[in-house]
A and B are shown apart, each in its own frame.
Chain A
Amino acid sequence: MAGERKFFDEMHGFGDGVRAPYEDYNTILTNIDTARLKTKAVKAEEFFRRTGITFNVYGAEQAEERLIPFDLLPRIISAQEWRTLTRGIEQRIKALNAFLHDIYHRQEILRAGRIPAHLITQNEAFLPQMIGVNPPGGIYTHIVGTDLVRTGPDEFYVLEDNARTPSGVSYMLENRETMLKMFPEVFSHIGVESISDYPAMLRRSLAASPPPASTSKPTIAVLTPGIHNSAYYEHAFLADQMGVELVEGQDLKVVDGRIAMRTTCGFEPIDILYRRVDDDFLDPLNFNPDSVLGVPGIFDIYRAGGITLANAPGTGISDDKALYSYMPDIVEFYTGQKPLLKNVETWRCSEADSLAYVLENLADLVVKEVHGSGGYGMLVGPAASQSEIETFRAKLNANPSNYIAQPTLSLSTVPIFTESGLAPRHVDLRPFILVSPHAIEVVPGGLTRVAMKEGSLVVNSSQGGGTKDTWVLSDD
């Protein structure tokens, strides 16, 4: 259609032929007939359902288990593109850890006036209890899932840092497993970086930050809120693949100054807890007193060096969307370098000028809650109806500092397989990064989320988004 925005398609560029990373795949794809692809798509869904790779949707009746739609066409990234991304991600994560250490210790960045103090001290994700605490190995963010979007051949933006409890890595792994099962021959023709040792890497990376109280080979466990949590499948998957226990709060208690799990033979201490329970619910004695998901006293044990918590409590502040707008300053402050990855221009609605601009341009902007996630509670201006915009305007006026706004990005597309053939859909990318005292490892792949609806820019699974396998090509 004339006048419509032109989006960058990762397979077909701006309509100028198949791009280099997709050439080999395209050759294979043109030789597979559509009927066979359809059969494979049905098989893939059967596989996911049988395996129980589901997620629970909050707010849906009885927390119904749903499948995330899986698309058979891979998203392909060249080795060169990946190297560029990796460098940018490493830089950003170094800066994030330095930033977290700083705000919980000397707060140099506030003294230097690079970010306003109230953004830290008044922030509900800031944990005063963490002030002066040194996490084992000096690591705050053991596991990160940076959300990236692409708008052109060389244009990558960080959308969110996801340093609190990133999820989705099990989909990355199961998507690859599915593709290996469906198209084994393709992988013998195209060199795709392997991601299958992620669980072993995760285990190694966690084990590298034992707490002072740990005496021998560290015992690791995954802490889940339980089977009704939306990401329970992933918690079980990771514990299973790492060969460690999957524990709930009810399995744990303080025994002799350590956190111990109740086994059939008595209590055994845990050294490192990969916790998938939010800060607030971690410890009813220190945080939310109503929590039944956590362990009373675990934070005291943590402070005393009795256990490693991954990620460290208080890291959630780095996911704050108002702080996000300062990330370029943060990267520069701690690394002394210009940020390699772009930050999306962000208007902080707490500031009067910005608010005025945002209210005037609601129809063109994306507005988000500063603590929101999962695509809940956001406005996508260009896709919203007039009444939705007016509802949001009222919310903004009532509590401006709860919101930020960003331009509507021209998210890149990748073709998906539909009933009527290939069709471009918008995607984002979540690579997974492991941080230990020795290394920052970016797993060569990631979770590609795709908006299954034509034209939609919202890729979240809770909003009907799907996923794709993500291939990083090896250097020849």
Chain B
Amino acid sequence: MLGRTASGLFWMARYLERFENTARLIDAGFRMSLTRARTARSEWESVLTTAGTRDLYLEHHDSFSTSRVVDFSIANRDNPSSLYNSIAAARENARMTRTALTRDVWESINETWLACKHDFEAGEFRNDLPDFLSGIRQHAALVRGTINGTMLRNEIFRFVKLGSLIERADNTARILDTKYYVLLPSSASVGSSLDRVQWEMILRSASAERSFHWLYGGVMDPGAIVDFLIHDVRLPRSIAYCYDAIVDILNGLEVEYDRRTASQDLAARHEAHITSSTSDAIIGSGLHEFLIDFIARNAALSQQIETDYRFTN
């Protein structure tokens, strides 16, 4: 396969994942803004921080109002991570790699783009935000379904998977890092209702609230949340799950290409780093530092994959 095609598939998947994650973040933020009007401003700020667009937002606006943050995160074309730009970039990459995609995958992405483009331009998301976001989740699920249901399990599928897993691991780390202070034992109001709402938002942002309650029976504990999102390989949005899958996929590429790459070693090292540390140890020695370090490692792996598989000249 062409290196450029591998690159297109990888980035198509990253943007699709980002599209979905951003929608989920906005949804969680919106819920907080409804339930807790007093702290709405800082909740929206943390949504932007998680999306990595806070500084850019502040270049355009000087306060965090719901309508401005929502507009900025959904339809703003200057915001590279807006829903608009994410799905546009995903589709552009899909168009570029069209010969590698099944008809079902291409059509589901194209349809998502056409539907969203219409909503973005007509501004319809402003009328009923939860409805709009749930539509996005449905589209994202459809795309994921066609990818899983119709694609050959070969190099094409592997690069798509690598892209979504790398993006997802990054996203989960960012969700935790934005709120790391409410997960620390030193937090002034441990166990207060304020904390529980914050914890709920963390889980919701990772689509993990139902799973968490299923496993932990409704007992909210910050250590358990950290453990769940970082270490639990049963949770498809946990960092450990992502790295377990990344290592598998890179090994699969080794078999397919009959060639071992530096990416494999790097991914294996990162996986060991994640699984060898308990959540107590992580919290003890600095959750924020751990997450910042992980985000950098994850970005380095992405770079290494681009080099090893010749995404560019």
Please list the residues of chain A having a beta carbon within 8 angstroms of any beta carbon in chain B.
49-52, 226-227, 232, 236, 239-240, 245-248, 250-251, 253, 261-266
Q: Are A232 and B95 in contact (CB under 8 A)?
A: yes
Q: A51-B107, A227-B92 are in contact. Are A264 and B6 (CB under 8 A)?
A: yes
- The one of A49, A240, A264 that contacts B310, using a Cβ cutoff of 8 Å: A264
Q: How far, in whole Å, are A232 and B3 apart by their CA atoms in the complex?
A: 19
Are B107 and A250 in contact, CB atoms less than 8 angstroms apart?
A: no
Which chain A residues lie closer than 8 Å to B294 at the CB level?
A: none
- Which chain A residues lie closer than 8 Å to B99 at the CB level? 236, 239-240, 245-246
Contact A264 B257 (CB under 8 A): yes
B98 to chain A minimum Cβ distance, whole angstroms, is: 4
- A contact residues around B309 at 8 Å (CB): 264
B190 at the binding interface (Cβ < 8 Å): no
Interface residues on B, range: 20 to 34
Query: How far in angstroms is the closest Cβ of chain A from B269?
Result: 22
Residue in A226, A236, A263, A266 whose beta carbon sits within 8 Å of that of B98 in the complex? A236
Would you give the shortest CB distance from A187 to chain B, in whole angstroms? Answer: 22
The residue on A at minimum CB distance from B308 is A264
Q: Determine if A227 and B96 form an interchain contact, defined as CB atoms under 8 angstroms apart.
A: yes
Structural contact, A262 and B2, CB atoms closer than 8 A: yes
How distant is A294 from chain B, measured CB to nearest CB, in Å?
15
The 27 sampled A-B contact pairs (Cβ below 8 Å) are A50-B107, A50-B110, A50-B114, A52-B107, A226-B96, A227-B92, A227-B96, A232-B95, A240-B98, A240-B99, A245-B1, A245-B99, A248-B4, A250-B313, A251-B2, A251-B3, A262-B2, A262-B3, A262-B4, A263-B2, A263-B3, A264-B1, A264-B2, A264-B3, A264-B6, A264-B155, A265-B257
Q: Which residues of A contact B107 (CB under 8 A)?
A: 50-52
- Interface on chain A toward B: helix, strand, loop, or mixed SS? mixed
Instruction: Report whether B95 and A52 are in contact in the complex, using a CB–CB cutoff of 8 Å.
Output: yes
Are A227 and B310 also in contact (CB < 8 A) when A261-B2, A264-B257 are?
A: no
Tell me which residues across on chain B come within 8 A of A266, comparing CB atoms. Answer: 310
Distance (whole angstroms) from the CB of B270 to the closest CB of chain A: 22
Cα–Cα distance between A471 and B313 once the two chains are bound (Å): 46
- B106–A52 touching, CB < 8 Å: yes
Q: A-B pairs with the 3 shortest C-beta distances?
A: A240-B99, A264-B309, A236-B98
Task: Please tell me if B153 contacts chain A, counting CB pairs below 8 Å.
Answer: no
Give Cα A266 to B114, complex, Å.
36
Docked complex: B65-117 residues within 8 A CB-CB of A: 92, 95-96, 98-99, 103, 106-107, 110-111, 114
Report whether A262 and B310 are in contact in the complex, using a CB–CB cutoff of 8 Å.
Answer: yes
Please give, as numbers and ranges, the residues of chain A lying within 8 Å of B310 by CB-CB distance.
262-266
Q: Identify the interface centre among A50, A232, A247, A261: most chain B CB within 10 Å of its CB.
A: A50
**Nearest-Cβ distance from residue B128 to partner chain A, whole angstroms:** 25
The closest CB in chain A to the CB of B158 belongs to A264
Alpha-carbon distance A52/B114, docked complex (angstroms): 10
Cross-chain contact B110 with A247 (CB below 8 angstroms): no
Q: How far is the CA of A240 from the CA of B3 in the complex (A)?
A: 17
* CB-CB contacts below 8 Å: B235-270 with A: 257, 259
Q: Quick one: which of B1, B3, B259 has the most chain A CB within 10 A?
A: B3
State the CA gap A376–B257 with chains docked (Å).
49
CB distance from A323 to the nearest CB of B (A): 36
Q: How far is the CB of B113 from chain A (nearest CB, A)?
A: 9
